[in-house]
Structure 1
Amino acid sequence: MRIDTLLRTSALCLALGLGFAAPALAQDPAQALADIGKHVMSLGPNGEKPEAASTVSLSDEELAKIKAMKAKAAIVMHYAGNDWSQAQIEGLKSQFDKMGIEVIATTDAGFKPDKQVADIETVMAQKPNIIVSIPTDPVATAAAYKAAAAGGAKLVFMDNVPQGFKAGTDYVSSVSADNYGNGVATAHLLAQALGGKGDVGLIFHAADFFVTKQRYDAVKKTLAENYPDIKIVAERGIGGPDFAGDAEKAAGAMLVSNPSIKGIWAVWDVPAEGVISAALTNGRDDLVIVNCDLGENVAINMAGNGPVKGLSAQRPYDQGVTEAMLAGYGLLNKP
């Protein structure tokens, strides 16, 4: 499947309120993949119904009001070491620039909750009007975000929200791709590349992180329900921060202990890079690798007929643009 087609497999959405019914899945992976873009499969962290990002807009009059505010924004990332994060940041900065909003800080917590708490406290010293962020841990970071909101910052989240937070009260909105749909898509891509049969391994994210858990749950459920001749014979979690290195070790151990493995699923592109290295080290040029996220290195590998045979990607630049526009909603007190 072409990359530009895969980019459309997960609809960008806002997690705001009940859910769409998932479509009936087919055992023909090509047909299942063709059907995926017609439905959003994810709900928000608290079961919220998604709304289309296309519903977010600012009029010329509203943009003029925002520009006159001369607002300041901080971008507080969970982890900036992948192409997804960088695309989000670029989308945010581009749209903020159009809105006359100055980005005063961009931080990287390296997936460490204590570092993110410190980052929030540091940027609040600069009195931002807006914070756009993705919590590394919904529980451990909640108090810091609560303090930031109390200090006057309008909060917009990527993918996940802190525990106990209510949309429209504690934060403006949360913007996410259809990560459950991404997991479903990768299951069908894996089945398609394997011809519907074979032993596989899964490399998942061993953390309390909403969107990566969605992907993992989706790929397991989809394989179990649709492909009885594909067996998950090994699963290993990785915690980072060296996600490529951890995944290389995990995949290498899988291939040694389970030589029957024909394919490995990776939760995003950086771990997939580690799986590529493990395949090369173990002489497994026949291994099929499928992952969520469109990173440059895995895309190049797939384009060059490497072991990466499928990707299901979000639209992170557009996600960043939408988050910046929603920050404008916050400044205007627009629902």
Structure 2
Amino acid sequence: MSIWEETKDMDKFNFDISRRALLGGSAALFAAQYLAASGVRAEAADRKFAAALGWTTYDSGRHLQDGFTAAVKELGGTLTTTDAGFDAKTQTDQIDSLISSKPEALFITPADAVAIAPAVQRAIAAGIPVFCADSAVPGVAVNTTSMSNNFGMGAYSCDFIARKLNGKGNIARVLLPQNESWDQRTLGMEWTLRRYPDIKIVADWAFALAGNVTPRQAVDNILTANPDIDAIWCAWDGAAVEGTLAARAANKPDLIITGIDGGSQAFNYIAGPSQLKLSMAQSFYEMAYLSVFYAHQHLAGQKTPRLVVTPTYAVEEAMLKDGIPDDFDVPGRADQLGWVRAV
């Protein structure tokens, strides 16, 4: 079964939206008060915003969309949203269409940041301030980018595997190279491996958004060709979950799998327990919320940061013993859970 095609496991996931809204209340109040103190006046309610989202599927896309929606509702404005479904050409066309609607600020989550860079530049040339979440757009001076430390997440998750293997073993990698920011995870992983010469990479597979091979199929093939494999490092949780299904089918109970993204889907497998042992859980909701917050700041004539590195939490089974927190990336919630920022 491929999770890219099947959804029958989704009934296990705990999408606690009402609690997300409750916990976000104090953060929203603080943000609104700060905006008022910074000179954002009543016209904030009439601000016209647009969001060109690279995707809205999976936990990552849902949390980003939730963050944008909540922030605009709580801080003021209206929001027009498009979803490119991971297609760079579609996102480019959607950005151009949103430019013609003349929003006061444009929010973007790039699936292929290099491919959409010319369209982002056209938005800036049209005088529209741009705020990016999750990935940086290379060569384009957007106002603010809110994102995780991708290099750090790759390094941390690789070190986790290396320590579990006591510094010796055979590993495979499922890579995500088409987004420059996401590819930094692989570079961080490779940097960490320099400290572990007795760990050998025996198989690689690079996912292509337009390809016909799913991560599940790729991991099936990897396990068939490499029966002595000890661990699989995955550049994102979708591959890690599919890899877990492949490991179950291949009867590999001791295989170690790690992923990057966070959210209910991966957390349920980690809590299982299962072969999926770690997810580097990103603060997608906070990335989106910050984009809206700083758009209001910019429109009020205030300074905004060029780059904000949002928290990532290294989530293991013990952290989920009291339940699956779908709202961990609402500002302040991780502190309540006792989670400590990893990178």
Pairwise same-fold verdict (TM > 0.5): yes
Q: What is the aligned partner in structure 2 of residue 182 from structure 1? A: 153
Deviation at 1:192, TM superposition (A): 3.1
* 2:124 maps to which of 141, 149, 157: 149
Q: What is the aligned partner in structure 2 of residue 104 from structure 1? A: 80
Q: Is the 8 A contact 2:69 2:79 kept in 1?
A: yes
Q: What is the aligned partner in structure 2 of residue 203 from structure 1? A: 174
* 1:172 maps to which of 134, 143, 159: 143
* 1:70 maps to which of 46, 62, 68: 46
Deviation at 1:204, TM superposition (A): 0.3
Deviation at 1:289, TM superposition (A): 0.6
Deviation at 1:301, TM superposition (A): 0.8
* 1:271 maps to which of 239, 257, 261: 239
What is the distance in 2 between the residues matched to 1:149 and 1:206?
26
What is the distance in 2 between the residues matched to 1:136 and 1:318?
18
What is the distance in 1 between the residues matched to 2:58 and 2:166?
31
Q: What is the aligned partner in structure 2 of residue 236 from structure 1? A: 205
Deviation at 1:200, TM superposition (A): 0.5
Deviation at 1:70, TM superposition (A): 0.8
What is the distance in 2 between the residues matched to 1:99 and 1:66?
10
Q: Counterpart amino acid of 2:50? A: A
- The unaligned stretches of length 5 or more in structure 1 are 1-53
Q: Is the 8 A contact 2:38 2:302 kept in 1?
A: no
Q: What's the secondary structure of 2:131's corresponding residue?
A: strand
Q: What's the secondary structure of 2:86's corresponding residue?
A: coil
Q: Is the 8 A contact 1:172 1:329 kept in 2?
A: no
What is the distance in 2 between the residues matched to 1:130 and 1:111?
22
1:1-40 to structure 2, matched below 5 A, reads none
Deviation at 1:334, TM superposition (A): 2.1
Deviation at 1:242, TM superposition (A): 7.5
Select between 108-117 and 190-199 the one with higher mean Cα deviation. Answer: 190-199
- The unaligned stretches of length 5 or more in structure 2 are 1-29, 304-343
Q: Is the 8 A contact 1:66 1:331 kept in 2?
A: no
Deviation at 1:326, TM superposition (A): 1.1
* 2:266 maps to which of 257, 281, 298: 298
* 1:124 maps to which of 63, 82, 99: 99
Deviation at 1:237, TM superposition (A): 0.3
Q: Counterpart amino acid of 1:110? A: G
Q: What is the aligned partner in structure 2 of residue 85 from structure 1? A: 61
Q: Scaled by the length of structure 1, what TM-score is found?
A: 0.75
Select between 81-90 and 66-75 the one with higher mean Cα deviation. Answer: 66-75
Q: Scaled by the length of structure 2, what TM-score is found?
A: 0.73
Q: What is the aligned partner in structure 2 of residue 286 from structure 1? A: 254
Q: What's the secondary structure of 1:261's corresponding residue?
A: coil
**1:230-266 deviations in Å (ceiling 9; x for gaps):** 21111110112579x6211211111111111011011
Deviation at 1:122, TM superposition (A): 2.5
Q: Counterpart amino acid of 2:169? A: G
What is the distance in 2 between the residues matched to 1:182 and 1:93?
27
Deviation at 1:331, TM superposition (A): 1.3
Q: Is the 8 A contact 2:134 2:284 kept in 1?
A: no
Q: Counterpart amino acid of 2:299? A: L
Q: Is the 8 A contact 1:270 1:295 kept in 2?
A: no
Q: Is the 8 A contact 1:75 1:132 kept in 2?
A: yes
Q: Counterpart amino acid of 1:129? A: E
Q: What is the aligned partner in structure 2 of residue 260 from structure 1? A: 228
Q: What is the aligned partner in structure 2 of residue 315 from structure 1? A: 283
- 1:60 counterpart = 2:31: no
> Relative to 1, partners in 2 of residues 1:66 and 1:155: Cα closer, same or farther, differing over 3 Å?
farther
Q: What is the aligned partner in structure 2 of residue 41 from structure 1? A: none
**1:268-312 deviations in Å (ceiling 9; x for gaps):** 111112211221222222211111111322211110111111122
Q: What's the secondary structure of 2:69's corresponding residue?
A: helix
> Relative to 1, partners in 2 of residues 1:262 and 1:315: Cα closer, same or farther, differing over 3 Å?
same
Q: What is the aligned partner in structure 2 of residue 191 from structure 1? A: 162
Q: Is the 8 A contact 2:262 2:281 kept in 1?
A: yes
What is the distance in 1 between the residues matched to 2:139 and 2:177?
23
Q: Is the 8 A contact 2:67 2:287 kept in 1?
A: yes
What is the distance in 2 between the residues matched to 1:149 and 1:324?
17
Q: Is the 8 A contact 2:241 2:269 kept in 1?
A: no
- 1:247 counterpart = 2:215: yes
> Relative to 1, partners in 2 of residues 1:306 and 1:117: Cα closer, same or farther, differing over 3 Å?
same
Deviation at 1:197, TM superposition (A): 2.3
Q: Is the 8 A contact 1:131 1:155 kept in 2?
A: yes
